Amino acid sequence: MTTILLVEDDETISFGITAALKRKGYPCITCASIGEAKKLYTQAISLILLDLNLPDGSGYEFCRWVREQAATPIIFLTVRDDAKDITKGLDMGADDYITKPFHISVLESRIAAVLRRVPQENRTLLTCGNIALDKEKMQAFLNNEPINLTSAEYRLLTVLMENKGRTLPRGLILDKLWDAEGNFVNDNTLTVTVKRLRKKLADTEHITTIRGIGYRMEESL
């Protein structure tokens, strides 16, 4: 599950961001200080939205603290728009920098872009909306309920989930769907497998057909 930690001391901004993220399906943990953030942070956090000016110090401090132990993506949210401040944040390892005021749709797009850059292949739990895939258990879930998939359906879902947000040409997907015995999956089989997978996922809209090209797994708009 993609969980976001929001470190923001302005209650109005915090409320607006949290409400918007929940509508997008992102669970959001909020706090208003560096001290609270350090208590709440774990490496299970998928992304941090970090205000620069906080009651007990600078967001730079928390960014540095996180970077000493993990590569969790960080997006700074701040009124400071000076090039030196932006460069400092990025040089410290922040993944993006958004100056206030900003439109919530811009923030949502930046979050999606940062999460797409995070390597998915080494994660054991992949998520997209109400769909989850536990690679360690080789089990897929819909609304937290296990669903039964064939070997081909499971391999297809794995490829799509590992490349969430990326358009995959049909040829590339076919190359990845050779089974363990080397049996080739043809183009017609791919079409049928996609259709059956969608049906088992309650006709999900998370698997998008890119006409003439292939498919893409993406969060709902």
How do residues 13-24 score in pLDDT, each as one tens digit?
999 999 999 888
Mean pLDDT of 35-40: 94
- Please state the rounded mean pLDDT for residues 34-47: 90
Q: What is the structure's pLDDT at 181?
A: 44
- With a cut of 60, say whether residue 221 has pLDDT above it: no
Q: And the tokens for 102? A: 């900003």
Average pLDDT for 119-136: 77
pLDDT in the model for residue 51 = 94
Cα(220)–Cα(65) distance, integer angstroms: 33
Q: Is the pLDDT of residue 204 over 80?
A: yes
For 70-126, write each residue's pLDDT tens digit: 888 999 998 887 788 888 888 887 888 898 888 999 899 889 888 877 655 456 788
Q: Which listed CATH number (3.40.50.12280, 3.40.50.720, 3.40.50.150, 3.40.50.2300) goes with 4-117? A: 3.40.50.2300
Q: How far apart are CA 179 and CA 190, in angstroms?
A: 13
Spatial CA neighbour of 160 closest among 143, 147, 177 = 177
Q: Which residue has the higher pLDDT, 116 or 50?
A: 50
4-117 and 125-217: identical CATH topology: no
Predicted TM-score (pTM) of this structure: 0.55
For tokens 């359906």, what's the residue? Answer: 153
- Evaluate whether 33 touches 9 at the Cβ level (below 8 Å): yes
Can you give the pLDDT at residue 118? Answer: 67
Whether pLDDT at 137 is above 90: no
Tokens at 217, concatenated: 């797994």
What's the pLDDT score for residue 180?
A: 44
| Segment 145-201, tens digit of pLDDT | 899 999 889 999 999 988 887 788 888 888 877 654 445 567 888 999 999 999 999
Report the top-level CATH class of 125-217.
mainly alpha
Contact, 111 vs 96, CB < 8 A?
Answer: no
What is the predicted pLDDT for the residue at 183? 55
Query: What DSSP string runs through the chain?
Result: ---EEEE---HHHHHHHHHHHHHTT--EEEESSHHHHHHH--TT--EEEEESEETTEEHHHHHHHHHTT----EEEEES---HHHHHHHHHTT-SEEEESS--HHHHHHHHHHHHHHS--TT-SEEEETTEEEETTTTEEEETTEEE---HHHHHHHHHHHHTTTS-EEHHHHHHHT--TT-PPP-HHHHHHHHHHHHHHTTS-SSEEEETTTEEEE----
pLDDT for 220 equals 63
CA distance 137 to 135: 5
The CA–CA distances, whole Å, from 191 to 12, 170, 183, 185 equal 47, 9, 17, 10
Domain boundaries, the chain: 4-117, 125-217
